[in-house]
Amino acid sequence: MKRICGRLAPWLLLFLVWAVASLSFGSDLVPGPWRTGRVLGGLLVRADTWEHIALTLFRGTAGMALGAALGYLLGIPCGLSPAAMRLLSPLVTALQSCPPIVWISLLLVWAGIGATVPVLVVAAATFPMLFINIAHGTADLDRGLLEMARMYRLPLRRALWDIVLPGISRYALAAFSFALGITWKVTATAEFFGSGDGIGARIYWASRQLDMPLLLSWTVIIVAIGLFLEMGLIHPLRQDRRAEGPAAGAAP
């Protein structure tokens, strides 16, 4: 019972603060929980709402998949070759230093408004952390195993599947747990500026129309997605990472 009360207390406090803010500033500026809940309920029974949610989730997944593919494709060779790592490190550092708004601005000029912008922005945001962890994991592999694979002329595909990928799994797990945490936020931000549909675009249009109940309803939806990802995917990944030891937390 105490555990349940402990979990409910922050939510009750949030709703209390929300209700007080609505009474203090007026429901036109800060719609209360009940008014927002009615608008949210109306949104959730509409098919196009779920289409926008699905588009955002798809774009986030596609962007992270692209970032992961590039991370593995470049991270493994760089982990095996210090020269390649020195060559690519400045580029990866530059990518890591750029905030998402820079990529959004550039891609809006290069590709225009559409589905391409959110996917590529997510890929640019997630690639550096995935690359760094995968490269560090590959560099820490047991060189004796790699030498044995070379001596016995193990096919490259077998060496990757049986030695490299299992050996770097803890590092990759750490990177994916962090990448998941930023993917949906970056996706919604990119949609806000560079897409005509998706959750971010709906937030943009609600703000343009000064429709505060609708704006807060879409905000509740995106927060709910974040909580679902955090509790359903990110938290279990981080728990597994801690259980496997400190190496899994290297180079976030």
**pLDDT for the residue 245:** 54
- Residue numbers of the domain that contains 172: 32-249
Give pLDDT tens digits for 185-204: 899 999 999 888 999 999 99
**pLDDT for the residue 216:** 93
Tell me, yes or no, whether 16 lies in a domain: no
Tell me, yes or no, whether 158 lies in a domain: yes
Tell me, yes or no, whether 76 lies in a domain: yes
Tell me, yes or no, whether 11 lies in a domain: no
Please list the ranges in the chain whose pLDDT falls under 50: 247-252
Tell me, yes or no, whether 10 lies in a domain: no
The residue type of 28 is D
**pLDDT for the residue 249:** 44
The enclosing domain of 212 has a CATH number of 1.10.3720.10
**pLDDT for the residue 40:** 93
State how far the alpha carbon of 234 is from the alpha carbons of 114, 125, 143, 177, 226, in Å: 28, 17, 31, 5, 10
What number of H helices and E strands is found in the chain? 13, 0
The residue type of 232 is G
**pLDDT for the residue 251:** 45
Tell me, yes or no, whether 27 lies in a domain: no
Tell me, yes or no, whether 47 lies in a domain: yes
Tell me, yes or no, whether 5 lies in a domain: no
Into how many domains does the chain fold?
1
- Percent of the chain whose pLDDT exceeds 70: 89
